[in-house]
């Protein structure tokens, strides 16, 4: 039983380390996703992401808009 327990413990430690390593790799990747379009024979790959821009307008909503 001790051999099985040690093997399971070693596997658990390995997978926890792998999960941490993969998490670190994912953090340095650019945001967004990859998608593809097949146009005719060739396949075109695209990197897609969203850029959100917020701009403060005023403290209160104006009574009338121009």
Q: Give the DSSP H or E segment for 17.
A: helix 2-27
Whether 26 is in a domain gets the answer: yes
Whether 63 is in a domain gets the answer: no
Q: How much is the pTM?
A: 0.48
Question: How much is the pLDDT for 31?
Answer: 86
Q: Cα dihedral sign for 7, 12, 13, 15?
A: positive
Residue range 20-61, pLDDT digits in tens: 999 999 999 888 888 999 989 899 999 888 887 777 766 776
Domain that holds residue 25: 2-48
* pLDDT band for position 15 (cuts 50, 70, 90): very high
How many structural domains is the chain composed of? 1
45 and 34 Cβ atoms separated by less than 8 Å:
yes
């Amino acid at each position: 039983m001790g051999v099985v327990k040690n093997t399971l413990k070693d596997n658990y430690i390995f997978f926890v380390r792998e999960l941490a390593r993969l998490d670190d790799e994912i953090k340095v990747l650019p945001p967004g996703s990859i998608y593809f379009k097949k146009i005719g024979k060739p396949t075109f790959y695209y990197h897609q992401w969203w850029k959100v821009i917020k701009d403060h307008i005023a403290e209160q909503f104006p009574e009338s808009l121009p």
